[in-house]
């Protein structure tokens, strides 16, 4: 019986192959998108490898199947990928509050492994890596043909281990090696809440808060900081999202709820299937705050959840944006576990701002454009470094002006002055 079944299957496959040939001669367009025809091609290629390839160790079914799936996902976009069981487990580890590494978010852009943003107070941040830096090599291995998942695996490692990155900085075309010691990454999301110095703001009381990334506690931490600033008489607020690589969507929605009130739609998603269409609103319990003027600072390192917040508050006429166009990572990835413990991370939808503007690959454009040189960006990173500065650091910071912050403060001073004149 088993032999008969096998023969029947073989005859069916041969018949299918004949049908493929006939259809290819008659209607190539139809054959091109026919699932059965193309699965037959895939199976034939696998059969030839299993039968004739010189190195038998590379021809087991799982290895060939995984390689074929990885090839399919590599043809889609940088954010979709196939994960073997160990990779899926590693991704789940990364979503926890602490993880080992050098503290940078990376993606592939124009085929090049690119730093989206280094996380503050991490080894990558302290080493001086900047958004937009291109990682040419990892421990001497060229990244040009390297899969994103493989690059991430090479960047990971136990705390205390070192990794050497060869970095090309597009702004200067300088190539430099950075040897960085991995550490357990702990990130504080809300920082530097204060009223800006009167030298910058004059008589206006302008608050400043910086969000480094979006986690579950971010909105609660921000709320406490805003309460304190409002108690001090804050008249306007600058929210700094520069070099914020994103985080969890719920954290971004809850942060929006601090400024636009309850039950307000701040972002939506749309994909090919109806289930991908979703609307995200602020909590019905969102705290109502005074509608003071706001400016949000963004740059090329502002990505994902940071772009959602910037785009929402702009479209809802709640804030002006100052700085440079954001990174442009506005797609939804669904993680699905497969039967054998492997998984896929598949882009299933795109994010849209309340004004129906797409974020993905376009970014969020500022209302007031204010650029920084590579030197100024390095100085900004140095200024944010915690733990004290040595004399060389202080010398490098001499004369530094945060021109983007200054532009935002000037804009808000104008709004406050105009509002006062109308009273």
Catalytic residue positions, numbered: 304, 315, 329
What string of DSSP letters covers 78-138?
A: TT-EEE-HHHHHHHHHHTSS-EEE--EEEEEETTEEEEEEEPTTSHHHHHT--TT-EEEEE
Question: Hey, which residues does 114 pair with through a beta bridge?
Answer: 107, 134
How far apart CA 101 and CA 119 sit, in angstroms, is: 11
**CA dist., res. 79 & res. 303, Å (int):** 13
**Residue 313 to residue 321: CA distance in whole angstroms:** 9
Helix (H) or strand (E) segment spanning residue 282:
none
What percentage of the chain's residues is helix, strand, coil (to nearest 5)? 40, 25, 35
85-94 and 148-155 are packed helices; what angle lies between their axes, rounded to 10 degrees? Answer: 60
> How distant is the alpha carbon of residue 342 from its chain centre?
23
The CA-CA-CA angle for residues 379, 375, 322, to 5°, reads 75
Residues 49, 60: Cα–Cα separation, whole Å: 10
Interatomic CA distance for residues 310 and 334, integer angstroms: 23
């Amino acid at each position: 019986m088993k032999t008969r079944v096998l023969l029947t299957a073989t005859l069916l496959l041969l018949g299918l192959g004949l049908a493929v040939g006939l259809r290819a001669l008659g209607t190539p367009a139809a054959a091109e998108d026919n699932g059965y025809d193309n699965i037959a091609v895939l199976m034939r290629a696998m059969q030839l490898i299993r039968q004739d390839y010189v190195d038998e160790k590379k021809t087991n079914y799982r290895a060939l199947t995984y390689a074929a799936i990885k090839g399919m996902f590599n043809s889609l976009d940088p954010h979709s990928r196939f994960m073997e069981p160990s990779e899926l487990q590693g991704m789940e580890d990364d979503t926890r509050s602490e993880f080992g590494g050098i503290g940078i978010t990376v993606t592939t852009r124009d085929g090049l492994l690119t730093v989206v943003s280094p996380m503050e107070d991490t080894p990558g941040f302290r080493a001086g890596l900047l958004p937009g830096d291109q990682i040419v090599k990892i421990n001497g291995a060229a990244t040009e043909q390297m899969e994103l998942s493989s690059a991430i695996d090479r960047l990971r490692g136990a705390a205390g281990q070192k990794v050497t990155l060869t970095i090309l900085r597009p702004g200067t075309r300088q190539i430099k090696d950075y040897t960085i010691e991995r550490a357990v990454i702990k990130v504080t999301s809300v920082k530097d809440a204060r009223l800006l110095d009167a030298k910058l703001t004059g008589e206006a009381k302008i608050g400043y808060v910086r969000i480094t990334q979006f986690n579950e506690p971010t909105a609660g931490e921000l709320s406490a900081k805003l309460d304190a600033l409002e108690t001090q008489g804050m008249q306007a607020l600058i929210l700094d999202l520069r070099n914020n690589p994103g985080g969890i969507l719920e954290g971004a929605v809850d942060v929006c709820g601090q400024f636009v009130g309850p039950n307000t739609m701040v972002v939506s998603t749309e994909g090919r299937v109806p289930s991908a269409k979703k609307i995200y609103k602020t909590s019905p319990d969102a705290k109502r705050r005074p509608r003071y003027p706001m400016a949000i600072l963004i740059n090329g390192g502002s990505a994902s959840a940071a772009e959602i917040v910037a785009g929402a508050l702009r479209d809802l006429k709640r804030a002006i944006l100052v700085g440079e166009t954001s990174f442009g990572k506005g797609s939804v990835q669904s993680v699905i576990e497969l039967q054998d413990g492997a998984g896929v991370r598949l882009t299933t939808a795109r994010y849209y701002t309340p004004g129906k503007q797409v974020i993905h690959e376009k970014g969020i454009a500022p209302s007031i454009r204010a650029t920084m040189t590579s030197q100024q960006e390095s100085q900004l990173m140095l200024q944010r470094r915690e733990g004290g500065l040595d004399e060389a650091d202080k010398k490098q910071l001499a004369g530094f002006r945060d021109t983007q912050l200054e532009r935002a403060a000037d804009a808000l001073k104008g709004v406050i002055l105009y509002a006062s004149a109308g009273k």
